[in-house]
C-alpha cells in the first residue's frame, strides 16, 4: 500500500535492494538490524540498531510500521512470533520455522513427492557410522548455515576428527555428482496469483554463488519440472512474497531440490535489470498486498558476484550501458564477503 510503512528485519544487501524497490512504489521502509554497519541504512527511510531480543526496541520498531518482512531466514522464530502478535509478518513465521531447519525443510519437500539429495539426521558419530552409505557426503549444521558456513566434507568416516564435538544437530547429505545448479525465483501474492521467473543457471565456488545467467542451459523437461515444483512448494506453504528454490541437476539428469530460501535470493539479482519488475519489487508488492503486474523480460543476462577485495578493482572500472555495477557500500572488506555484483545484459541474446 503506497503511503504505508514496511518494516524490514536485516540490513544487508538484500535489505538494501528491498528498500530501493519499496521507494519506487512510494512505500516507506524502517529497517531493524543487529549490525550497526549494515548497508541497508543507506537506503532505508529509518534505521533502528538493536539486538533482535530487545523487546523495547522491537516495540519502537512495531509502532512505526504496518507490515513486517525480513531479508534472511535465521531470525529466532520466537522473535518473529512475538512480532506477529502485533503486526502482519510475511512470509509467515511458521514457514520460516520449517525452512530454517534443514531436517524439517527436506521432510516437507520429500512429503510433496519432490526429490532432494539423499540425507539423514545426525546427532552423533554413531549416526554417521549407521549412514555410511551417504559417504562421500557433506555434513551440514541443521540450522544457521549460509554461504557454505557450517558445512564439512566427509569423504570417509576417517575424516571425522576424533575430537569432533557434536554440539549441534546436523544432517548428512550424500555428495551429488553435479552436472549443473539452477534456481527458480517465484513471487506469490495474497490472492494466490504468482509470477515465476525462468530458471537461472548458477555456478558456485567454495560453496558460494559466483555466477548466474539466464537462460539456463537446461532441457525443456527440467525447465518445466523446476517451475512446477517451485509452484507446488509456494502453494503448499501458502507463501506470500518472493522465494527461491535451489536445485541440483545430477549427471543422470535428475532434478533434486537443494534448499529453499524464504526470501529474495542472490541468484535473482539479475531480475533487477533483465525484467520490468524485479524479484525485490514483486516481494514488496506481494507482502504489501498490491496486485500482481505483468512482468516483461528485457534481455538475457549474466551476473557476477563480487567477493572480498575484488570490489576494489570493480570500483575503479568504467562500465558500458548494458553493464550494471552494484556496490553494496559495505564499510569492511572481508575475504569471501559479498561486496557487490555486476549484471551484464545480453541485448543480442548471445548467451
Ligand atoms: P548454504 O545454505 O550455505 O547456501 P547449500 O546447502 O546451498 O548451503 O550449499 C552450498 C553449495 O555447496 C551448493 O550450492 C553446492 O554447490 C554445494 N553443495 C551443497 N550440498 C551439496 C551436495 N550434497 N552435493 C554436492 N554439492 C553440494
Ligand atoms: Mg544454498
Distance CA 55, CA 237 (A): 29
Cβ–ligand 1 distance for 105 under 6 Å, the answer no
Ligand 2 centroid vs 265 CA: distance in angstroms?
10
Q: What are the CA-CA distances from residue 178 to residues 170, 181, 203, 215, 316 (Å)?
A: 22, 7, 11, 19, 36
CA–CA distance, 26 with 23 (Å, rounded to integer): 5
Atom of ligand 1 nearest to the CA of 149: 3
Instruction: Cell numbers for 199, please give them.
Output: 530458471
pLDDT interval class at 2 (50, 70, 90): low
Q: What is the pLDDT of residue 120?
A: 97
**pLDDT, mean over the chain:** 94
CA gap 136, 350 in Å, rounded: 38
Q: Whose CA is nearest to atom 13 of ligand 1?
A: 207
**Average of per-residue pLDDT across 266-282:** 98
Q: Rounded to whole angstroms, how far apart are CA atoms 38 and 49?
A: 9
Q: How far is the CA of 288 from the centre of ligand 1 (A)?
A: 32
Instruction: Give ∠ CA 156-159-164 in degrees, rounded to 5.
Output: 130
Looking at residue 31, its pLDDT comes to: 98
Is the pTM of the predicted complex or chain greater than 0.85? yes
> Cβ of 163: how many Cβ atoms within 10 Å?
5
Looking at residue 348, its pLDDT comes to: 67
Going by the DSSP 8-state scheme, the letter that residue 143 receives in this structure is B
CB 192 within 8 A of CB 236: no
Question: Cell numbers of 162, please?
Answer: 576424533
Q: Is the CB of 176 under 6 A from ligand 1?
A: yes
Nearest atom of ligand 1 to the alpha carbon of 177:
25
| % of the chain at pLDDT higher than 90 | 87
- C-alpha–C-alpha distance, residues 114 and 249, integer Å: 13
Q: What is the mean pLDDT of residues 233-250?
A: 98
Cα separation, 269 vs 133, whole angstroms = 37
Cβ pair 284, 293 in contact under 8 A? no
Distance 66 CA to ligand 2 centre (A): 31
| Owner of C-alpha cell 549427471 | 251
pLDDT for res 167: 77
- Summarize the confidence of residues 40-54 as an average pLDDT: 96
d(CA 306, CA 314) in angstroms, rounded, equals 8
Nearest CA to ligand 1 atom 8: 148
Helix 77-86 crosses helix 55-64 at what angle (to 10 degrees)? 40
With a 6 Å cutoff on the Cβ, whether 225 touches ligand 1 is no
Centre of ligand 1 to C-alpha 209, Å, is 10
- CA 226 to centroid of ligand 1, rounded, Å: 17
207 lines ligand 1 (CB under 6 A): yes
Atom of ligand 1 nearest to the CA of 246: 7
145 lines ligand 1 (CB under 6 A): yes
Identify the sign of the CA torsion 180, 277, 72, 96: negative
Q: How far is the CA of 246 from the centre of ligand 1 (A)?
A: 9
Name which of 326, 280, 337 is nearest 304 in CA terms.
326
Taken as a whole, the chain contains a residue count of 351
Per-residue pLDDT for 168 more than 70? yes
| Ligand 1 neighbourhood includes 181 CB (under 6 angstroms) | yes
Rounded percentage of the chain residues whose pLDDT exceeds 70? 97
The confidence score (pLDDT) of residue 177 equals: 96
On whether the CB atoms of residues 229 and 114 are closer than 8 A, the answer is yes
Instruction: Check if 173 has its Cβ closer than 6 Å to any atom of ligand 1.
Output: yes
What distance in angstroms lies between residue 147's CA and the mean position of ligand 2's atoms? 6
- Ligand 1 centroid from CA 108, angstroms: 18
pLDDT tens by residue, 287-318:
999 999 999 999 999 999 999 999 999 999 99
> Which of 141, 151, 177 best tests ligand 1's pocket when mutated (most atoms within 8 Å of CB)?
151
Q: How many CB atoms lie within 10 A of CB 123?
A: 12
Contact between 249 and 182 (Cβ < 8 Å): yes
Is the CB of 73 within 6 Å of ligand 1? no
pLDDT at 349 over 70: no
* Atom 17 of ligand 1: nearest residue by CA position: 207
Cα separation, 18 vs 13, in Å, equals 9
Q: What integer pLDDT is reported at residue 347 of this predicted model?
A: 77
pLDDT at residue 150, as a whole number: 78
| Ligand 1 nearest atom to the CA of residue 174, by list position | 23
Which of 32, 109, 95 minimizes the C-alpha distance to 68? 32
Confirm or reject: Cβ of 19 under 6 Å from ligand 1.
no
Give residue 144 CA to ligand 2 midpoint distance, Å. 12
- The values of phi and psi at residue 82, to 5°, are -65, -45
In this prediction, residues 247-271 reach a mean pLDDT of 97
- The answer, yes or no, to whether residue 50 has pLDDT greater than 70, is yes
Amino acid at each position: 500500500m503506497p503511503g504505508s510503512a514496511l518494516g524490514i528485519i536485516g540490513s544487508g544487501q538484500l535489505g538494501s535492494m528491498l528498500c530501493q524497490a519499496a521507494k519506487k512504489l512510494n512505500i516507506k521502509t524502517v529497517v531493524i538490524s543487529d549490525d550497526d554497519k549494515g548497508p541497508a541504512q543507506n537506503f532505508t527511510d529509518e534505521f533502528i540498531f538493536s539486538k533482535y531480543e530487545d523487546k523495547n526496541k522491537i516495540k519502537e520498531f512495531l509502532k512505526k510500521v504496518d507490515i513486517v518482512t525480513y531479508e534472511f531466514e535465521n531470525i529466532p522464530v520466537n522473535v518473529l512470533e512475538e512480532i506477529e502478535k502485533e503486526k502482519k509478518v510475511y512470509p509467515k513465521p511458521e514457514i520460516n520455522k520449517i525452512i530454517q531447519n534443514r531436517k524439517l525443510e527436506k521432510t516437507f519437500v520429500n512429503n510433496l513427492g519432490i526429490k532432494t539429495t539423499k540425507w539423514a539426521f545426525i546427532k552423533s558419530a554413531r549416526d554417521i557410522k549407521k549412514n555410511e552409505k551417504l559417504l562421500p557426503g557433506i555434513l551440514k549444521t541443521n540450522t544457521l548455515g549460509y554461504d557454505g558456513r557450517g558445512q564439512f566434507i566427509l569423504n570417509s568416516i576417517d575424516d571425522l576428527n576424533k575430537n569432533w564435538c557434536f554440539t549441534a544437530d546436523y544432517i548428512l547429505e550424500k555428495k551429488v555428482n553435479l552436472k549443473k545448479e539452477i534456481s527458480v525465483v517465484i513471487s506469490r501474492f495474497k490472492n494466490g496469483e504468482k509470477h515465476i521467473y525462468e530458471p537461472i543457471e548458477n555456478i558456485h565456488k567454495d560453496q558460494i554463488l559466483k555466477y548466474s545467467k539466464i537462460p539456463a542451459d537446461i532441457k525443456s523437461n527440467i525447465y518445466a519440472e523446476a517451475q512446477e515444483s517451485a509452484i507446488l512448494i509456494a502453494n503448499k506453504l501458502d507463501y506470500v512474497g518472493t522465494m527461491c528454490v535451489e536445485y541440483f541437476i545430477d549427471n543422470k539428469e535428475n532434478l533434486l531440490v537443494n534448499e529453499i530460501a524464504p526470501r529474495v535470493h542472490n541468484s535473482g539479482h539479475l531480475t533487477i535489470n533483465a525484467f520490468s519488475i524485479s524479484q525485490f519489487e514483486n516481494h514488496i508488492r506481494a507482502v504489501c498486498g498490491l496486485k500482481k503486474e505483468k512482468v516483461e523480460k528485457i534481455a538475457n543476462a549474466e551476473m557476477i558476484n563480487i567477493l572480498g577485495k575484488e570490489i576494489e578493482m570493480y570500483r575503479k572500472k568504467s562500465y558500458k550501458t548494458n553493464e550494471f555495477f552494484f556496490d553494496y557500500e559495505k564499510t569492511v572488506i572481508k575475504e569471501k564477503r559479498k561486496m557487490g555484483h555486476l549484471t551484464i545484459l545480453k541485448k543480442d541474446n548471445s548467451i
